[in-house]
C-alpha cells in the first residue's frame, strides 16, 4: 500500500473546517486550530496520555475530553505481582473544560478537583514534566510525585492524520512518541517508586479530532534497551481509514522505521494468553506476553466508552528500513482495545 508521507507544514483543515491533507509524518507538520472546526463541541475529541514504567511499576496518566464525557485518570500497576490501583475522575459533558492545547509541542494542562491535581507541562526541547498530587488516591493511600521525560536528540515521532470512510467530517490527528527516558520519584502510600534514566521509559500518546458515531481502536506500544540501543514501537489500527498513513512504526534511538499494516492476533476467550502481531509486508513477527488486564466501562445517556488495557512484555523481530533485522526480548509495554459509541 502506498502511504502519503507529509514532509512540510500543511493545514489539517480547509477554510470551512473540514479535514484535508491526510497522511503521516515524522514531525507534527499538520496545523490544527479547533476554532476552525465546523463540528459542535460535543463531537470534538482531545486526549493526552503518558505510559511510564520502570522494572517494577507501570503508571498510566491521562487527560481525555470526548465532548460528552471528560476523564482524568491515573493507574499504578505493579509488574512484580498482580496488584494495581486507579484513581478515575469522570466529568460528564466536559465540552472543552480542560482547555487542552491544540498542538503537541507546547502548552500545559492542569486539572484540579478538590485537593487533587494533575499537571502536564511541555518545556523546551520537548522535555515534559508531569506532576501529580492525590491525597486520597485509593485504599487510604496518597500519591504524589514529579516525573521528567526527555527524548533522544533529533527524535522523530509517528504523526498521522486520518479520516473515516463513512463519515467524511470525522478525523483523528495523532502523535505517538515511544522513546522518552523518565526520571523522578512518585510517593505511593508508604512506597517510593523511583524512575532513573536508562532504567525507566515513557510513551506519549496524543490525539485531536472529530469523533465518529462509533470508533474501534487497537493500539500497542513499548520501549526499552536492546544491546545498548533504545528500541520503541507504536502499532495500531481501527475504524479510521489508514490508506494514506498507518499507525505503525518502530524507533531505534529515536529514528523512525515505517511499517505498513499490522494485525493483532488475540485469543477471544482469554486476553491473558499470548498475543501475536504480524505485518502484511513480512517485516514484523512479535509476541506479547500479558501480565495483567484492566477493564473499564463508562456510560452517560447515549454515549459509551469501553476499554480493555493490558500490560506485559514484547518479544520478536523487526526488519528496519535499511534491511537490518533487529531482535528483541521482553521489553515492557502496553496494549489496549477501545470502543466509543454515540
- Distance, CA of 197 to CA of 184 (rounded, Å): 9
| Dihedral, CA of residue 53, residue 54, residue 55 and residue 61, to nearest 10 | -30
User: Helix, strand or coil for residue 208?
Assistant: strand
pLDDT tens per residue across span 158-216: 999 999 988 989 999 999 999 999 999 999 988 899 999 989 999 999 999 999 989 99
pTM above 0.85, yes or no: yes
Q: What is the rounded CA–CA span in Å between residue 224 and residue 289?
A: 16
- How would residue 115 be classed by pLDDT, with cut points 50, 70 and 90? confident
Distance CA 6, CA 23 (A): 6
Q: What's the confidence (pLDDT) of residue 1?
A: 58
CA distance 181 to 152: 8
Closest CA to 213 of 14, 97, 70, 39: 39
Q: How far apart are CA 103 and CA 32, in angstroms?
A: 7
**pLDDT tens for each residue of 297-308:** 888 888 888 899
Q: In whole angstroms, what is the distance from residue 261 CA to residue 280 CA?
A: 6
DSSP label of 189: T
The predicted pLDDT at position 220 comes to 97
Q: Is the pLDDT of residue 100 over 90?
A: yes
Question: What value does the mean pLDDT take over residues 284-291?
Answer: 96
> Does residue 28 carry a pLDDT above 70?
yes
pLDDT on residue 217: 94
Per-residue pLDDT, 254:
96
Mean confidence (pLDDT) of the chain: 93
Average pLDDT, integer, range 68-77: 91
Sorting pLDDT into bands at 50, 70 and 90, what band is 333?
A: very high
Instruction: Say what the pLDDT of residue 168 is.
Output: 87
Whether 44 has a pLDDT exceeding 80, the answer reads yes
Q: Using DSSP, state whether 34 is helix, strand or coil.
A: helix
Considering only CA atoms, which of 286, 181, 278 is closest in space to residue 230? Answer: 181
CA distance 163 to 208: 12
Can you give the C-alpha Rg of the chain in angstroms? 19
Of 39-43, 59-63, 130-134, 323-327, the poorest mean pLDDT is in 39-43
Q: Would the pLDDT of 223 be above 70?
A: yes
Amino acid at each position: 500500500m502506498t502511504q502519503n508521507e507529509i514532509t512540510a507544514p500543511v493545514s489539517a483543515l480547509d477554510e470551512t473546517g473540514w479535514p484535508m491533507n491526510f497522511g503521516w509524518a515524522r514531525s507534527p507538520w499538520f496545523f490544527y486550530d479547533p476554532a476552525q472546526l465546523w463540528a459542535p463541541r460535543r463531537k470534538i475529541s482531545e486526549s493526552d496520555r503518558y505510559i511510564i514504567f520502570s522494572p517494577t511499576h507501570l503508571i498510566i496518566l491521562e487527560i481525555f475530553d470526548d465532548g460528552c464525557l471528560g476523564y482524568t485518570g491515573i493507574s499504578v500497576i505493579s509488574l512484580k505481582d498482580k496488584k494495581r490501583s486507579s484513581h478515575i475522575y469522570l466529568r460528564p459533558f466536559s465540552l472543552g473544560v480542560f482547555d487542552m492545547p491544540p498542538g503537541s509541542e507546547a502548552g500545559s494542562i492542569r486539572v484540579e478537583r478538590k485537593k487533587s491535581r494533575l499537571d502536564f507541562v511541555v518545556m523546551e526541547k520537548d522535555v515534559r514534566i508531569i506532576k501529580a498530587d492525590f491525597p486520597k488516591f485509593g485504599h487510604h493511600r496518597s500519591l504524589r510525585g514529579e516525573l521528567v521525560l526527555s527524548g533522544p536528540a533529533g527524535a522523530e515521532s509517528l504523526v498521522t492524520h486520518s479520516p473515516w470512510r463513512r463519515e467524511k467530517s470525522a478525523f483523528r490527528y495523532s502523535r505517538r512518541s515511544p522513546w522518552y527516558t523518565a526520571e523522578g520519584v512518585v510517593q505511593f502510600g508508604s512506597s517510593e517508586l523511583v524512575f532513573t534514566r536508562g532504567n525507566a521509559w515513557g510513551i506519549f500518546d496524543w490525539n485531536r479530532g472529530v469523533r465518529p458515531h462509533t470508533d474501534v481502536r487497537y493500539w500497542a506500544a513499548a520501549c526499552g534497551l536492546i544491546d545498548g540501543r533504545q528500541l520503541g514501537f507504536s502499532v495500531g489500527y481501527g475504524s479510521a481509514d489508514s490508506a494514506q498513513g498507518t499507525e505503525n512504526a518502530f524507533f531505534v534511538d529515536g529514528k523512525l522505521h515505517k511499517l505498513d499494516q499490522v494485525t493483532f492476533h488475540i485469543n477471544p476467550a482469554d486476553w491473558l494468553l499470548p498475543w501475536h502481531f504480524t505485518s502484511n509486508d513480512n517485516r514484523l513477527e512479535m509476541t506479547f506476553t500479558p501480565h495483567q488486564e484492566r477493564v473499564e466501562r463508562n456510560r452517560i445517556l447515549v454515549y459509551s466508552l469501553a476499554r480493555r488495557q493490558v500490560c506485559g512484555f514484547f518479544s520478536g523481530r523487526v526488519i528496519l528500513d535499511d534491511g537490518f533485522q533487529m531482535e528483541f526480548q521482553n521489553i515492557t509495554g502496553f496494549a489496549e482495545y477501545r470502543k466509543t459509541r454515540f
